């Protein structure tokens, strides 16, 4: 318990530092006088940049990263597979399909249409996965179904992209698929935060079942665990969290996969206790990645999904290498 408390404290301090840096550091450099004006005069230009541009963007990255980290931890616990993440089961791809369809049909001009479409896509994926999980017991079969769903949604999104008659719509779809929290406002934060809170509630209800599942399905069932209820709770949590994240920031990979691995040792691999630390780790990862995307000196700002892949892939390779060494021992 002491290790877990220490982990929470370290994560909280790191998030505070990352958020502070994300608000104070940006493409536009301020002198001390401008920073002072930002804190004392809410109507000044620097205050507008700090509190209406950078701050909501940083908080949005935090909430989206937390959603992806939570979804990844739930999926890895349910499937008992350390390589599982929201993308594996097709939730991210189906949410992206809903968003792409809304963009091509002209819904981008109406506030909330693209976001709701992405959430509906994730909800449909979650419903299909719940039905599939009631028909097949093996986690491997559910993974294969998810991979098929992801492939189909990806192909449908590519088809929509190719058939779109508008170059502007194609550019918007491509930007969505690359992921970004650029130009996000406090309205976006207010929209995504409750959805992530709902997902966290379902995840908390599944925590005890995920812990029992480590004993195996048969042993867990003899202890009174309802696998149908557990699968439904876990899949709803993952679908809502992923759908909310994709709805606000587009498709962002590697966070849901890598975040649980960063904290697994501190909770001794307990799939029930890893949920909250994974959410914090995912939020921290995305705040740092977005800060790097903003300050990297390029002609065009890097997309967040590109940065997370560049950071996440080597990080995950290091984690896998260390795990392989332990397996050999």
For 37-65, write each residue's pLDDT tens digit: 888 888 888 888 889 999 999 999 999 99
Q: Which pLDDT value is given to residue 203?
A: 94
Query: Using only C-alpha atoms, what is the Rg of the chain?
Result: 20
Higher pLDDT, 221 or 242: 242
Q: Which pLDDT value is given to residue 329?
A: 47
Q: Which pLDDT value is given to residue 74?
A: 93
CA 292 from centroid of its chain's CA atoms: 18
The two structure tokens encoding residue 10 = 């370290």
Which single residue is written with the structure tokens 């307990």?
270
pLDDT tens digits, 110-156: 777 888 888 898 889 888 888 887 787 777 788 888 889 989 998 99
Question: For residue 23, what are the contacts with CB-CB under 8 A and spacing of at least 6?
Answer: 50, 51, 54, 55, 58
pLDDT at 98 over 80: yes
Higher pLDDT, 248 or 316: 248
- Please compute the mean of the pLDDT values over residues 78-101 and round it to a whole number: 84
Inter-CA distances, 306 with 15, 137, 197, 208, Å: 21, 36, 27, 35
Q: Which pLDDT value is given to residue 146?
A: 85
Nearest to 125 by CA among 142, 147, 103, 149: 149
Least confident residue range of 1-5, 8-12, 165-169, 255-259 = 1-5
pLDDT tens digits, 277-325: 999 999 999 999 999 988 888 778 888 888 888 877 787 777 667 666 6
Handedness of CA 303, 313, 65, 156 (dihedral sign): positive
Confidence label for 106 from pLDDT (cuts 50, 70 and 90): confident
Inter-CA distances, 30 with 34, 36, 93, Å: 6, 10, 40
**Measured between alpha carbons, how far apart are the two ends of the chain, in Å?**
27
Q: Are 45 and 33 in contact (CB under 8 A)?
A: no
H helices of 41-112, in order, are 45-49, 55-79, 91-104
The two structure tokens encoding residue 96 = 């992206």
Nearest to 151 by CA among 97, 115, 114, 81: 97
Q: Which pLDDT value is given to residue 56?
A: 94
Inter-CA distances, 317 with 72, 260, 287, 309, 311, Å: 17, 14, 21, 12, 10
Q: Which pLDDT value is given to residue 324?
A: 64
The two structure tokens encoding residue 210 = 């995920």
Report the C-alpha gap between 25 and 20 in whole angstroms. 8
- CA within 13 Å, CB half, 236: 17
Give the percent of the chain with pLDDT over 70: 95
Nearest to 144 by CA among 88, 214, 192, 198: 88
Nearest to 239 by CA among 57, 78, 15: 78
> Among 28-32, 124-128, 223-227, 273-277, which range has the highest average pLDDT?
273-277
Confidence label for 11 from pLDDT (cuts 50, 70 and 90): very high
pLDDT tens digits, 160-207: 888 877 788 888 888 888 888 988 889 989 988 999 999 999 999 999
- Please compute the mean of the pLDDT values over residues 255-269 and round it to a whole number: 85
Higher pLDDT, 260 or 167: 260
pLDDT at 29 over 80: no
């Amino acid at each position: 318990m002491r290790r877990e408390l220490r982990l929470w404290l370290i994560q909280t301090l790191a998030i505070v530092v990352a958020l502070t840096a994300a608000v104070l550091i940006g493409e536009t450099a301020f002198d001390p006088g401008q920073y002072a004006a930002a804190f004392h005069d809410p109507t000044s230009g620097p205050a507008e940049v700090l509190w209406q541009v950078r701050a909501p963007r940083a908080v949005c990255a935090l909430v989206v990263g937390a959603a992806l980290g939570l979804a990844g931890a739930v999926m890895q616990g349910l499937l008992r597979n350390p390589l599982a993440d929201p993308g594996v089961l097709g939730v991210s791809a189906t949410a992206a399909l809903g968003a792409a369809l809304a963009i091509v049909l002209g819904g981008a001009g109406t506030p909330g249409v693209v976001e709701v479409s992405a959430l509906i896509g994730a909800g449909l994926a979650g419903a299909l996965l719940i039905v599939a999980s009631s028909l097949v017991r093996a986690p491997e079969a559910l993974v294969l179904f998810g991979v098929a769903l992801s492939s189909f949604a990806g192909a449908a999104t590519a088809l929509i992209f190719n058939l779109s008659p508008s170059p502007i719509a194609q550019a918007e779809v491509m930007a969505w698929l690359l992921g970004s929290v650029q130009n996000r406002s406090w309205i976006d934060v207010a929209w995504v935060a409750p959805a992530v809170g709902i997902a966290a509630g379902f995840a908390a209800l599944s925590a005890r079942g995920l812990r029992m599942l480590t004993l195996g399905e048969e042993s867990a069932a003899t202890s009174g665990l309802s696998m149908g209820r557990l699968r439904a709770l876990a899949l709803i949590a993952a679908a809502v969290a992923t759908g909310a994240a994709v709805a606000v920031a587009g498709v962002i990979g590697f966070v849901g996969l890598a975040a649980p691995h960063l904290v697994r040792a501190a909770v001794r691999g307990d799939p029930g206790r890893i949920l909250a630390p994974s959410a914090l780790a995912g939020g921290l990862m995305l705040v740092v990645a977005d800060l790097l995307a903003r300050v990297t000196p390029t002609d065009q700002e890097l997309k967040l999904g590109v940065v997370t892949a560049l950071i996440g892939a080597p990080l995950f390779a290091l984690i896998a290498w260390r795990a392989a060494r332990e397996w050999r021992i």
